[in-house]
Amino acid sequence: MNTILVKTKKHDYPIIIGFDLFNTSYLFSSFKYGDQAMIVTNQKIFTLYFQKLSDILKHIGIKLDYIILPDGEKYKTLITMNIIYSSLLKKFHSRDTTLIALGGGVIGDMTGFAASSYQRGVKLIQIPTTLLSQVDASIGGKTAVNHHLGKNMIGSFYQPTSVIINLNYLDTLSKREFSSGMAEVIKYSIICDNIFFNWLEENLDKLFNLDPKSINYCIYKCCKFKSKIICEDENEKNTRVLLNLGHTYGHAIESETNYNGKWLHGEAISVGIIMSCITSEKLNLFKNSDTIRIVNLLKRCNLPIRSPKFMNTKKYLKYMFLDKKVHNNKIHLIIPVKIGKVIINNNITENIISDSIIQSRNLMK
Protein backbone atom coordinates (compact mmCIF):
# COMPACT_ATOMS: atom_id res chain seq x y z
CA MET A 1 0.00 0.00 0.00
CA ASN A 2 1.31 3.44 -1.00
CA THR A 3 0.13 6.74 0.43
CA ILE A 4 0.54 10.18 -1.14
CA LEU A 5 -0.32 13.24 0.94
CA VAL A 6 -2.09 16.04 -0.90
CA LYS A 7 -1.59 19.39 0.83
CA THR A 8 -4.17 22.12 0.23
CA LYS A 9 -4.98 25.39 1.99
CA LYS A 10 -8.00 24.05 3.88
CA HIS A 11 -6.79 20.56 4.73
CA ASP A 12 -4.42 17.76 3.77
CA TYR A 13 -5.70 14.40 2.63
CA PRO A 14 -4.22 11.02 1.66
CA ILE A 15 -4.39 9.17 -1.63
CA ILE A 16 -4.15 5.51 -0.65
CA ILE A 17 -3.15 3.09 -3.43
CA GLY A 18 -3.00 -0.69 -3.20
CA PHE A 19 -4.53 -4.10 -3.74
CA ASP A 20 -7.22 -5.70 -1.54
CA LEU A 21 -7.74 -2.51 0.43
CA PHE A 22 -11.22 -3.37 1.65
CA ASN A 23 -10.21 -6.31 3.79
CA THR A 24 -9.90 -4.00 6.77
CA SER A 25 -11.76 -1.14 8.41
CA TYR A 26 -8.48 0.75 8.98
CA LEU A 27 -9.15 3.04 6.02
CA PHE A 28 -12.23 4.43 7.76
CA SER A 29 -10.67 5.07 11.16
CA SER A 30 -11.80 8.71 11.03
CA PHE A 31 -15.43 7.62 11.41
CA LYS A 32 -17.01 7.48 14.85
CA TYR A 33 -19.67 5.00 15.88
CA GLY A 34 -23.07 6.33 14.84
CA ASP A 35 -21.81 8.62 12.08
CA GLN A 36 -23.89 8.97 8.94
CA ALA A 37 -22.71 8.20 5.42
CA MET A 38 -24.24 7.78 2.00
CA ILE A 39 -22.67 5.82 -0.83
CA VAL A 40 -23.38 7.19 -4.31
CA THR A 41 -22.88 4.68 -7.12
CA ASN A 42 -24.42 3.19 -10.27
CA GLN A 43 -26.07 -0.18 -10.80
CA LYS A 44 -23.05 -1.99 -12.26
CA ILE A 45 -20.69 -0.89 -9.48
CA PHE A 46 -23.36 -1.52 -6.86
CA THR A 47 -23.63 -5.13 -8.01
CA LEU A 48 -19.87 -5.65 -8.07
CA TYR A 49 -18.55 -3.80 -5.03
CA PHE A 50 -21.20 -2.31 -2.78
CA GLN A 51 -21.72 -5.23 -0.42
CA LYS A 52 -18.12 -5.55 0.77
CA LEU A 53 -17.79 -1.83 1.37
CA SER A 54 -21.18 -1.74 3.09
CA ASP A 55 -20.25 -4.61 5.40
CA ILE A 56 -17.09 -2.81 6.55
CA LEU A 57 -18.89 0.47 7.25
CA LYS A 58 -21.79 -1.16 9.07
CA HIS A 59 -19.36 -3.27 11.10
CA ILE A 60 -17.81 -0.11 12.56
CA GLY A 61 -21.23 1.31 13.36
CA ILE A 62 -21.90 3.69 10.48
CA LYS A 63 -25.51 4.58 9.70
CA LEU A 64 -25.27 3.85 6.01
CA ASP A 65 -27.56 4.74 3.13
CA TYR A 66 -26.98 4.50 -0.59
CA ILE A 67 -28.27 5.86 -3.85
CA ILE A 68 -27.98 4.33 -7.32
CA LEU A 69 -27.70 6.84 -10.16
CA PRO A 70 -28.19 6.20 -13.87
CA ASP A 71 -24.92 5.38 -15.62
CA GLY A 72 -23.28 7.58 -18.22
CA GLU A 73 -21.93 11.07 -18.94
CA LYS A 74 -25.29 12.17 -20.35
CA TYR A 75 -26.77 11.89 -16.84
CA LYS A 76 -24.17 14.23 -15.31
CA THR A 77 -26.73 17.02 -15.02
CA LEU A 78 -28.47 19.23 -12.49
CA ILE A 79 -31.53 16.98 -12.81
CA THR A 80 -29.53 14.01 -11.55
CA MET A 81 -27.96 16.16 -8.84
CA ASN A 82 -31.42 16.81 -7.47
CA ILE A 83 -31.88 13.07 -7.00
CA ILE A 84 -28.89 13.07 -4.65
CA TYR A 85 -30.12 16.11 -2.69
CA SER A 86 -33.62 14.67 -2.36
CA SER A 87 -32.30 11.35 -1.08
CA LEU A 88 -30.11 13.06 1.51
CA LEU A 89 -33.03 15.14 2.76
CA LYS A 90 -35.54 12.29 2.81
CA LYS A 91 -33.12 10.17 4.85
CA PHE A 92 -32.35 13.04 7.25
CA HIS A 93 -28.66 13.41 6.54
CA SER A 94 -27.27 16.33 8.49
CA ARG A 95 -24.23 18.55 8.03
CA ASP A 96 -21.94 15.97 9.65
CA THR A 97 -22.69 13.26 7.10
CA THR A 98 -20.10 11.87 4.64
CA LEU A 99 -20.74 11.26 0.96
CA ILE A 100 -18.80 8.35 -0.54
CA ALA A 101 -18.33 8.32 -4.32
CA LEU A 102 -18.05 4.69 -5.46
CA GLY A 103 -17.58 4.70 -9.21
CA GLY A 104 -15.85 6.36 -12.13
CA GLY A 105 -15.42 9.98 -13.07
CA VAL A 106 -19.12 10.73 -13.53
CA ILE A 107 -20.04 9.44 -10.08
CA GLY A 108 -17.02 11.18 -8.55
CA ASP A 109 -17.83 14.53 -10.15
CA MET A 110 -21.49 14.50 -9.13
CA THR A 111 -20.88 13.20 -5.62
CA GLY A 112 -18.18 15.80 -5.12
CA PHE A 113 -20.46 18.58 -6.31
CA ALA A 114 -23.23 17.33 -4.03
CA ALA A 115 -20.81 17.23 -1.08
CA SER A 116 -19.64 20.78 -1.81
CA SER A 117 -23.16 22.19 -1.88
CA TYR A 118 -25.34 20.07 0.42
CA GLN A 119 -25.91 22.16 3.56
CA ARG A 120 -22.97 24.27 2.31
CA GLY A 121 -20.49 21.43 2.51
CA VAL A 122 -20.16 17.92 3.94
CA LYS A 123 -17.29 15.43 4.05
CA LEU A 124 -16.38 13.49 0.92
CA ILE A 125 -14.51 10.23 0.27
CA GLN A 126 -13.57 9.29 -3.28
CA ILE A 127 -13.34 5.57 -4.13
CA PRO A 128 -12.62 5.52 -7.89
CA THR A 129 -13.30 2.31 -9.81
CA THR A 130 -11.99 3.12 -13.32
CA LEU A 131 -8.46 3.76 -14.51
CA LEU A 132 -9.39 7.28 -15.62
CA SER A 133 -10.85 8.20 -12.25
CA GLN A 134 -7.99 6.56 -10.35
CA VAL A 135 -5.28 8.53 -12.13
CA ASP A 136 -7.15 11.78 -12.63
CA ALA A 137 -10.81 12.54 -11.92
CA SER A 138 -10.93 11.58 -8.23
CA ILE A 139 -7.90 13.70 -7.30
CA GLY A 140 -7.74 17.45 -6.89
CA GLY A 141 -11.26 18.50 -5.98
CA LYS A 142 -12.74 19.39 -9.35
CA THR A 143 -16.47 18.71 -9.18
CA ALA A 144 -19.03 19.53 -11.84
CA VAL A 145 -22.01 18.69 -13.99
CA ASN A 146 -22.44 19.31 -17.70
CA HIS A 147 -24.53 21.83 -19.59
CA HIS A 148 -25.69 21.07 -23.12
CA LEU A 149 -23.51 23.97 -24.32
CA GLY A 150 -20.37 22.84 -22.53
CA LYS A 151 -18.76 20.16 -20.40
CA ASN A 152 -18.24 20.70 -16.65
CA MET A 153 -19.58 24.26 -16.80
CA ILE A 154 -21.38 24.10 -13.44
CA GLY A 155 -19.28 23.03 -10.49
CA SER A 156 -16.85 23.87 -7.73
CA PHE A 157 -13.43 23.13 -6.29
CA TYR A 158 -13.98 20.88 -3.28
CA GLN A 159 -11.33 18.57 -1.89
CA PRO A 160 -12.15 15.12 -0.48
CA THR A 161 -11.07 13.92 2.95
CA SER A 162 -9.42 10.90 1.31
CA VAL A 163 -9.05 9.08 -2.01
CA ILE A 164 -8.93 5.29 -1.78
CA ILE A 165 -7.65 3.56 -4.93
CA ASN A 166 -8.29 -0.18 -4.83
CA LEU A 167 -6.35 -1.56 -7.80
CA ASN A 168 -8.37 -4.79 -7.88
CA TYR A 169 -11.29 -2.82 -9.28
CA LEU A 170 -9.49 -2.67 -12.62
CA ASP A 171 -10.03 -6.45 -13.02
CA THR A 172 -13.66 -5.87 -14.04
CA LEU A 173 -13.06 -2.81 -16.21
CA SER A 174 -13.86 -3.18 -19.92
CA LYS A 175 -11.00 -2.92 -22.40
CA ARG A 176 -12.55 0.21 -23.88
CA GLU A 177 -12.77 1.91 -20.47
CA PHE A 178 -9.19 0.91 -19.68
CA SER A 179 -8.04 2.41 -22.99
CA SER A 180 -9.97 5.58 -22.20
CA GLY A 181 -8.08 5.90 -18.93
CA MET A 182 -4.77 5.42 -20.70
CA ALA A 183 -5.35 8.69 -22.58
CA GLU A 184 -5.01 10.52 -19.25
CA VAL A 185 -1.95 8.47 -18.30
CA ILE A 186 -0.25 9.37 -21.58
CA LYS A 187 -1.31 12.99 -21.07
CA TYR A 188 0.64 13.12 -17.78
CA SER A 189 3.78 11.78 -19.44
CA ILE A 190 3.60 14.41 -22.21
CA ILE A 191 3.09 17.17 -19.63
CA CYS A 192 5.48 16.11 -16.91
CA ASP A 193 8.02 13.42 -17.69
CA ASN A 194 9.58 12.14 -20.91
CA ILE A 195 11.18 9.25 -18.98
CA PHE A 196 7.70 8.11 -17.96
CA PHE A 197 6.64 8.37 -21.62
CA ASN A 198 9.55 6.07 -22.53
CA TRP A 199 8.46 3.69 -19.76
CA LEU A 200 4.92 3.59 -21.16
CA GLU A 201 6.24 2.74 -24.63
CA GLU A 202 8.22 -0.16 -23.14
CA ASN A 203 5.62 -1.44 -20.65
CA LEU A 204 2.28 -0.87 -22.36
CA ASP A 205 1.56 -4.57 -22.88
CA LYS A 206 2.14 -5.24 -19.17
CA LEU A 207 -0.36 -2.53 -18.27
CA PHE A 208 -3.04 -3.97 -20.54
CA ASN A 209 -2.37 -7.39 -19.03
CA LEU A 210 -2.86 -5.82 -15.58
CA ASP A 211 0.58 -6.80 -14.37
CA PRO A 212 0.34 -5.83 -10.67
CA LYS A 213 3.77 -4.23 -10.36
CA SER A 214 3.34 -2.18 -13.55
CA ILE A 215 -0.21 -1.08 -12.69
CA ASN A 216 0.83 -0.04 -9.19
CA TYR A 217 3.80 1.97 -10.50
CA CYS A 218 1.79 3.64 -13.27
CA ILE A 219 -1.08 4.80 -11.08
CA TYR A 220 1.23 5.89 -8.26
CA LYS A 221 3.28 7.91 -10.76
CA CYS A 222 0.22 9.69 -12.18
CA CYS A 223 -1.20 10.44 -8.73
CA LYS A 224 2.18 11.81 -7.68
CA PHE A 225 2.24 14.13 -10.73
CA LYS A 226 -1.24 15.45 -10.08
CA SER A 227 -0.87 15.84 -6.31
CA LYS A 228 2.30 17.90 -6.80
CA ILE A 229 0.53 20.28 -9.18
CA ILE A 230 -2.54 20.56 -6.91
CA CYS A 231 -0.30 21.49 -3.98
CA GLU A 232 1.14 24.31 -6.12
CA ASP A 233 -2.15 25.52 -7.65
CA GLU A 234 -5.30 24.14 -6.09
CA ASN A 235 -7.79 26.38 -7.91
CA GLU A 236 -6.25 26.33 -11.38
CA LYS A 237 -4.86 29.85 -11.50
CA ASN A 238 -1.59 28.94 -13.22
CA THR A 239 0.27 25.59 -13.38
CA ARG A 240 -2.79 23.37 -12.91
CA VAL A 241 -4.15 24.69 -16.22
CA LEU A 242 -1.41 22.66 -17.93
CA LEU A 243 -3.23 19.44 -16.97
CA ASN A 244 -5.84 20.36 -19.60
CA LEU A 245 -3.67 19.25 -22.51
CA GLY A 246 -6.06 18.08 -25.24
CA HIS A 247 -9.16 19.00 -23.25
CA THR A 248 -10.25 22.15 -25.07
CA TYR A 249 -10.44 20.23 -28.35
CA GLY A 250 -11.68 17.04 -26.67
CA HIS A 251 -14.48 18.64 -24.68
CA ALA A 252 -15.85 20.09 -27.93
CA ILE A 253 -16.29 16.55 -29.25
CA GLU A 254 -18.08 15.43 -26.08
CA SER A 255 -20.36 18.47 -26.12
CA GLU A 256 -21.28 18.01 -29.77
CA THR A 257 -22.26 14.37 -29.14
CA ASN A 258 -24.33 15.48 -26.13
CA TYR A 259 -22.37 13.04 -23.91
CA ASN A 260 -24.19 10.06 -25.46
CA GLY A 261 -21.38 7.58 -24.84
CA LYS A 262 -20.33 7.20 -28.46
CA TRP A 263 -17.16 9.05 -27.48
CA LEU A 264 -15.75 8.33 -24.03
CA HIS A 265 -13.85 11.11 -22.29
CA GLY A 266 -10.44 9.55 -22.86
CA GLU A 267 -11.24 8.91 -26.53
CA ALA A 268 -12.07 12.58 -27.07
CA ILE A 269 -8.97 13.65 -25.15
CA SER A 270 -6.82 11.35 -27.28
CA VAL A 271 -7.91 13.20 -30.41
CA GLY A 272 -7.52 16.51 -28.56
CA ILE A 273 -3.93 15.68 -27.65
CA ILE A 274 -3.08 15.02 -31.30
CA MET A 275 -4.75 18.27 -32.38
CA SER A 276 -2.68 20.09 -29.76
CA CYS A 277 0.49 18.47 -31.10
CA ILE A 278 -0.37 19.49 -34.66
CA THR A 279 -1.15 23.03 -33.46
CA SER A 280 2.26 23.22 -31.81
CA GLU A 281 3.92 21.89 -34.96
CA LYS A 282 2.30 24.68 -36.98
CA LEU A 283 3.83 27.17 -34.55
CA ASN A 284 7.23 25.52 -35.07
CA LEU A 285 7.35 24.58 -31.38
CA PHE A 286 7.04 20.78 -31.60
CA LYS A 287 8.76 18.11 -33.67
CA ASN A 288 6.71 16.00 -36.06
CA SER A 289 8.75 12.98 -34.93
CA ASP A 290 7.39 13.45 -31.39
CA THR A 291 3.84 13.76 -32.71
CA ILE A 292 4.35 10.43 -34.49
CA ARG A 293 5.57 8.80 -31.25
CA ILE A 294 2.47 10.04 -29.44
CA VAL A 295 0.19 8.91 -32.28
CA ASN A 296 1.73 5.44 -32.20
CA LEU A 297 1.37 5.12 -28.43
CA LEU A 298 -2.28 6.20 -28.51
CA LYS A 299 -2.97 3.80 -31.39
CA ARG A 300 -1.42 0.94 -29.38
CA CYS A 301 -3.98 1.78 -26.70
CA ASN A 302 -6.78 1.40 -29.28
CA LEU A 303 -7.55 5.11 -28.97
CA PRO A 304 -8.76 7.32 -31.83
CA ILE A 305 -6.36 9.87 -33.28
CA ARG A 306 -8.48 11.54 -35.98
CA SER A 307 -11.10 14.25 -35.67
CA PRO A 308 -14.59 12.75 -36.11
CA LYS A 309 -16.16 13.24 -39.54
CA PHE A 310 -19.38 14.67 -38.08
CA MET A 311 -17.61 17.77 -36.73
CA ASN A 312 -16.51 20.66 -38.91
CA THR A 313 -14.26 23.46 -37.69
CA LYS A 314 -17.18 25.80 -36.95
CA LYS A 315 -18.61 23.28 -34.49
CA TYR A 316 -15.28 22.99 -32.69
CA LEU A 317 -14.86 26.74 -32.43
CA LYS A 318 -18.40 27.20 -31.11
CA TYR A 319 -17.63 25.02 -28.10
CA MET A 320 -14.03 26.12 -27.73
CA PHE A 321 -15.10 29.73 -27.24
CA LEU A 322 -17.29 28.54 -24.36
CA ASP A 323 -14.34 26.80 -22.72
CA LYS A 324 -13.40 27.83 -19.17
CA LYS A 325 -9.91 28.75 -20.39
CA VAL A 326 -11.17 31.51 -22.72
CA HIS A 327 -10.18 34.97 -21.46
CA ASN A 328 -10.92 38.27 -23.20
CA ASN A 329 -12.42 36.29 -26.07
CA LYS A 330 -9.11 34.50 -26.66
CA ILE A 331 -8.78 30.72 -26.59
CA HIS A 332 -5.94 29.65 -24.30
CA LEU A 333 -4.59 26.33 -25.53
CA ILE A 334 -2.20 23.94 -23.81
CA ILE A 335 0.35 22.73 -26.35
CA PRO A 336 3.47 20.59 -26.04
CA VAL A 337 6.92 21.94 -26.85
CA LYS A 338 8.58 18.59 -26.24
CA ILE A 339 7.57 15.31 -24.66
CA GLY A 340 7.71 16.15 -20.97
CA LYS A 341 6.92 19.86 -21.25
CA VAL A 342 3.84 21.86 -22.25
CA ILE A 343 2.97 25.56 -22.27
CA ILE A 344 -0.15 27.68 -22.44
CA ASN A 345 -0.53 29.84 -25.53
CA ASN A 346 -3.19 32.53 -25.92
CA ASN A 347 -2.06 33.82 -29.29
CA ILE A 348 -3.19 31.05 -31.63
CA THR A 349 -5.30 32.19 -34.55
CA GLU A 350 -8.59 30.59 -35.54
CA ASN A 351 -6.99 29.68 -38.85
CA ILE A 352 -4.28 27.62 -37.14
CA ILE A 353 -6.86 25.92 -34.94
CA SER A 354 -9.03 25.14 -37.96
CA ASP A 355 -6.07 23.83 -39.97
CA SER A 356 -5.05 21.60 -37.03
CA ILE A 357 -8.55 20.13 -36.88
CA ILE A 358 -8.59 19.46 -40.63
CA GLN A 359 -5.10 17.93 -40.57
CA SER A 360 -6.15 15.67 -37.69
CA ARG A 361 -9.07 14.38 -39.74
CA ASN A 362 -6.69 13.31 -42.50
CA LEU A 363 -3.93 12.06 -40.21
CA MET A 364 -1.93 9.05 -41.44
CA LYS A 365 -4.47 8.00 -44.06
Give strand pairing partners of 88: none
Active site (annotated) includes residue 329: no
Same domain, 204 and 309: yes
Active site (annotated) includes residue 251: yes
pLDDT, tens digit (0-9, with 9 covering 90-100), for 45-75: 999 999 999 999 999 999 999 999 999 999 9
Same domain, 12 and 111: yes
**Catalytic one among 73, 177, 184, 267?**
184
Active site (annotated) includes residue 244: yes
Same domain, 343 and 272: yes
* pLDDT reported for residue 201: 98
**Catalytic one among 93, 123, 187, 247?**
247
15: region left, alpha or beta (phi > 0 left; psi from -120 to 50 alpha): beta
Single-letter code of the amino acid located at 63: K
Residue ending a domain, choose from 144, 172, 200: 172
Same domain, 224 and 271: yes
Same domain, 203 and 317: yes
Active site (annotated) includes residue 201: no
More confident residue, 324 or 250: 250
Same domain, 164 and 226: no
Residue ranges in 91-233 assigned as alpha helix (H): 105-117, 131-132, 175-192, 194-208, 212-232
* pLDDT reported for residue 362: 82
**Catalytic one among 93, 187, 226, 332?**
226
Domain of 264, CATH number, reads 1.20.1090.10
**Catalytic one among 73, 177, 236, 267?**
236
For residue 65, which phi and psi values (nearest 5 degrees)? -120, 170
Q: Is the C-alpha dihedral spanning 320, 321, 327, 329 positive or negative?
A: positive
Percent of the chain whose predicted confidence (pLDDT) is above 70: 99
State how many domains the chain has. 2
Active site (annotated) includes residue 203: no
Active site (annotated) includes residue 327: no
Active site (annotated) includes residue 59: no
* pLDDT reported for residue 50: 97
Range of the domain at 206: 175-361
* pLDDT reported for residue 237: 86
pLDDT of residue 365 exceeding 70: no
pLDDT, tens digit (0-9, with 9 covering 90-100), for 177-226: 999 999 999 999 999 999 999 999 999 999 999 999 999 999 999 999 99
Domain of 75, CATH number, reads 3.40.50.1970
pLDDT, tens digit (0-9, with 9 covering 90-100), for 275-302: 999 999 999 999 999 999 999 999 999 9
pLDDT of residue 43 exceeding 90: yes
pLDDT, tens digit (0-9, with 9 covering 90-100), for 340-353: 999 999 889 999 99
Same domain, 11 and 131: yes
Active site (annotated) includes residue 147: no
* pLDDT reported for residue 332: 86
CA distance 130 to 177: 7
Q: What's the chain's length in residues?
A: 365
Active site (annotated) includes residue 240: yes
Residue ending a domain, choose from 127, 146, 172: 172
Please give the average per-residue pLDDT across 136-160, as a whole number. 92
Residue ending a domain, choose from 121, 142, 172: 172
**Catalytic one among 240, 282, 324, 332?**
240
Same domain, 193 and 293: yes
Same domain, 166 and 190: no
* pLDDT reported for residue 364: 60
Same domain, 310 and 210: yes
pLDDT, tens digit (0-9, with 9 covering 90-100), for 229-269: 999 989 888 899 999 999 999 999 999 998 888 999 999 99
Active site (annotated) includes residue 226: yes
CA distance 322 to 69: 28
* pLDDT reported for residue 322: 85
Same domain, 123 and 183: no
Same domain, 254 and 149: no
